Amino acid sequence: MHIDAKVVKALREKTGAGMMDCKKALTEADGNEEKAIDILREKGLAAAARRSGRAANQGIVDSYIHMGGKIGVLVEVNCETDFVARNDEFREFVRNICLQVAATNPGYLRKEDVPDYILDKERQIIKAQALNEGKPEKVIDKIVEGRLEKYYRENCLLEQAFVKDTDQSINDLLAGMIAKIGENIVIRRFTRFEIGEGLGNEHSDCD
């Protein structure tokens, strides 16, 4: 059955589970939100939201070198305990984040990190494109917001599709890891270096 994206988003906001997990649960529950919440709880996926406020001051910094030294990535991912920081699944997750950064070169960690002047410029460009395409004035604002969401998915790490499984975003991957590990996990910051493009920028999560 078709599940409306707004319903999926609402369930995600209530449970903290990943978008794909929410969609699967709603499909399994024939669109019934309460049943979907029960399904997510049974799978341990609804606990992620409750853990998101807990302090994460342990973790690791990992690195990845690609293309014979042409691209290098440093990523810091935090968790609550040193025990989890040594966990193989946690370390594999961090490595996957390194691979993601190397492959997609995100400009920002989260959509909230995109400066207002960048968004204003994008809105102007998108509006001009839509008008040039002959779109009616009354739908321009909707088109602008829709294409901004695409901009976020392309440029913000947490919004990007996971390169190893494009059916889930990095946010979904993170929520699933939180549920599996049982601790709050935070992708804190990353840096990507590429030969010929200077030293790049560091992107930080705000505490």
d(CA 56, CA 61): 14
Q: Where does the pLDDT of residue 71 fall: very low under 50, low under 70, confident under 90, or very high at 90 and above?
A: very high
Superfamily of domain covering 5-46: Ubiquitin-associated (UBA) domain (1.10.8.10)
* Residue of 191, 181, 175 whose CA lies nearest to 80: 181
Residue ranges of domains in the chain: 5-46, 51-110+156-204, 115-153
pLDDT of residue 39: 84
Query: Mean pLDDT, to the nearest integer, of 199-205?
Result: 51
pLDDT score for 42: 72
Q: In this predicted structure, what is the pLDDT of residue 137? A: 82
3-state secondary structure 120-147: HHHHHHHHHHHHHCCCCHHHHHHHHHHH
| CATH of region 115-153, choose from 1.10.645.10, 1.10.3720.10, 2.60.40.420, 1.10.286.20 | 1.10.286.20
Alpha-carbon span 45 to 177, nearest angstrom: 9
- Band (pLDDT 50/70/90 cuts) for residue 45 is low
Task: Give every CB contact of residue 164 below 8 A, 6+ residues apart in sequence.
Answer: 96, 99
Distance CA 28, CA 13 (A): 19
pLDDT in tens, 96-119: 999 999 999 999 999 999 999 999
Inter-residue contact 192 to 101 (CB < 8 Å) = yes
pTM above 0.85, yes or no: no
User: What average pLDDT does the segment 64-88 reach?
Assistant: 93
How do residues 136-172 score in pLDDT, each as one tens digit? 888 888 888 888 999 999 999 999 999 999 988 999 8
Q: How would residue 47 be classed by pLDDT, with cut points 50, 70 and 90?
A: low
Q: Which residue has the higher pLDDT, 9 or 60?
A: 60
- Write down the pLDDT at residue 2: 80
Asked whether residue 44 carries a pLDDT value surpassing 70, the answer given is no
Look at residue 202 and tell me whether its pLDDT is greater than 70.
no
CATH topology of domain 51-110+156-204: Tetrahydropterin Synthase; Chain A (3.30.479)
| 8, burial (CB in 10 Å: exposed 0-12, middle 13-18, buried 19+) | buried
The answer, yes or no, to whether residue 207 has pLDDT greater than 60, is no
pLDDT value for 114: 94
